[in-house]
């Protein structure tokens, strides 16, 4: 491999994740070659720091003064890291030997690749794809995210159908390789998102700037998922719906914005109604709270849109499904990307 792996920094953001560090950090330390391993701690109170200092003195510690969340936590930590490539890695990810080489090799060959992810499999059910990332992230015409290998709650079995190298729309923040200079050039992750969908927003901005986002199925990792907020947590519902609307508003070209926002709001209300009918009243309330938050902070989001929209023409963007994934999944009962 014609690159210096010491130019790669694997950075794990930790907040009270002692259990995950105990279980998964050994694989990262053992299997990441000469990459620098860093844990950035968001002011944990569960003994994480003491554990790292005692058992992993070779791992560099970055101590943050408070819990800045996923987005700002990474932004602050990565300002203190010198590397050619950052690997944003969740603490609940198990990695096998040689997991970094295929991706770094691909990025070395093509300087237009800003971001890349490996195949993401479920750590507890390794024959199946994992929810967050699977075989590479896609987006539909209304900015609903889905993955090759995962449509909403339906996960595909890994039968080698995504053992490819493919340009996608977004790469998962659970294991995201990114060029350090591009990360800093684009201002890092959107701090107001706190967590959830921040990687989609980052990848969208990278693509709007002309960079590629790739998936490389020749590398794989195993992700537990739900380590910070479980899928059933209303806080997660709130962040997903708020951030989903915000990333659509920030990144959509002006000619498409009004229609896209109107349809997305309508579908969000339909989703909230389905939650009420299913007895998920707290989740339904979280959807309405997400909309209220976006309106309340509209001045901030208008400013971010002005700052981050391309100055010239929008480039052609790969990885967008031109239909509605909501329609295909819930009405037409499509369950895999191949069926779309």
What does the pLDDT read at residue 313? 74
Cα separation values, 152 from 19, 69, 144, 164, 326, Å: 28, 25, 10, 22, 9
Q: State the DSSP code for 195.
A: S
Per DSSP, the residues of 66-103 read S--HHHHHHHHHHTT---SEEEEE-TTEE--TT-SHHH
Residue 264 lies in a domain: yes
Tell me, rounded to whole angstroms, the distance of Cα 207 from its chain centroid: 15
User: Do the beta carbons of residue 120 and residue 129 sit within 8 Å?
Assistant: yes
Domain-embedded: residue 246: yes
Burial class, 137, CB count within 10 angstroms (exposed 0-12 / middle 13-18 / buried 19+)? buried
pLDDT at 316: 76
Q: How far, in Å, CA of 302 to CA of 88, rounded?
A: 28
pLDDT for 226 = 64
Q: Is 133 left (phi over 0), alpha (psi -120 to 50) or beta?
A: left
pLDDT tens, position by position, 43-95: 999 999 999 999 999 999 999 999 999 999 999 999 999 999 999 999 999 99
Query: Domain for residue 128, yes or no?
Result: no
Q: What is the CA radius of gyration of the chain?
A: 19
Task: Give 78-82's long-range contacts (Cβ < 8 A, gap of 24+).
Answer: 78/11, 78/180, 78/183, 78/184, 78/188, 81/9, 81/11, 81/36, 81/38, 81/180, 82/9
Asked whether residue 286 is assigned to any structural domain, the reply reads: yes
Give dist(CA 310, CA 72) in Å, integer: 23
Under a CB-based contact definition with an 8 Å cutoff, are residues 193 and 71 in contact? Answer: yes
Query: What's the token pair of residue 322?
Result: 């031109």
Element (H, E) at 117: strand 113-122
Residue 11: Cβ-neighbour burial (10 angstroms; 0-12, 13-18, 19+): buried
The domain tally of the chain equals: 1
Residue 206, in any domain of the structure = no
* Beta bridge mates, 86: 9, 178
- The pTM (predicted TM-score) of the whole model is 0.94
* 275-311: burial string, b at 16+ Cβ within 10 Å, e else: beeeebeebbbbbebbbebbeeeeeebeebbeebeee
The answer to whether position 289 is within a domain reads: yes
80 within some domain: no
pLDDT in tens, the chain (340 residues): 344 545 999 999 999 999 999 999 999 999 999 999 999 999 999 999 999 999 999 999 999 999 999 999 999 999 999 999 999 999 999 999 999 999 999 999 999 999 999 999 999 999 999 999 999 999 999 999 999 999 999 999 999 999 999 999 999 999 999 999 999 999 999 999 998 899 999 999 999 999 999 999 999 999 998 655 555 689 999 999 999 999 999 999 999 999 999 999 999 999 999 999 999 999 999 999 999 999 999 999 999 999 998 877 777 788 999 999 999 999 999 999 999 9
Residue in this structure with the two tokens 């790739």, named with its chain if needed: 214
Q: Which two tokens stand for residue 149?
A: 């290998």
Instruction: Answer whether residue 239 is part of any domain.
Output: yes
Give the domain range for residue 283. 234-312
């Amino acid at each position: 491999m014609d690159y210096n792996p010491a130019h790669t920094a694997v950075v794990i953001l930790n907040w009270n994740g002692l259990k995950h560090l105990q279980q998964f950090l050994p694989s990262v330390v053992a299997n990441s070659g000469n990459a620098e391993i860093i844990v950035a701690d968001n002011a944990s109170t569960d003994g994480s720091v003491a554990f790292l200092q005692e058992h992993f003195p070779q791992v560099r510690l970055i101590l943050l003064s408070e819990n800045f969340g996923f987005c700002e936590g990474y932004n602050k930590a990565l300002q203190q890291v010198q590397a050619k490539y950052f690997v944003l890695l969740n603490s609940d990810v198990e990695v096998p030997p040689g997991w970094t080489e295929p991706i770094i090799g691909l990025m070395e060959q093509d300087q237009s690749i800003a971001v890349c992810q490996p195949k993401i499999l479920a750590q507890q059910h390794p024959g199946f794809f994992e929810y967050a990332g699977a075989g590479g992230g896609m987006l539909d015409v209304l900015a609903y995210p889905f993955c090759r290998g995962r449509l909403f709650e339906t996960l595909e079995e890994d039968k080698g159908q995504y053992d490819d190298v493919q340009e996608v729309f977004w790469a998962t923040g659970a294991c995201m390789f990114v060029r350090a200079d591009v990360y800093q050039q684009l201002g890092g992750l959107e701090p107001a998102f706190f967590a959830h969908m921040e990687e989609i927003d980052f990848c969208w901005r990278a693509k709007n700037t002309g960079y590629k986002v790739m998936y490389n199925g020749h590398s794989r990792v195993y992700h537990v998922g739900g380590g910070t907020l479980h899928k059933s947590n209303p806080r997660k519902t709130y962040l997903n719906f708020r951030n989903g609307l915000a990333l659509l508003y920030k990144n959509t070209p002006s000619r498409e914005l009004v229609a896209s926002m109107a349809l997305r709001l309508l579908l969000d209300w339909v989703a909230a109604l389905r939650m009420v009918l299913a007895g998920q009243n707290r989740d339904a309330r979280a959807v309405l709270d997400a909309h209220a938050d976006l309106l309340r902070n509209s001045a901030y989001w208008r400013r971010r849109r002005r700052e981050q929209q391309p100055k010239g023409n929008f480039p052609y963007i790969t990885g967008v499904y031109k239909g509605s994934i909501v329609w295909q999944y819930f009405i037409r009962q499509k369950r895999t990307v191949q069926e779309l």
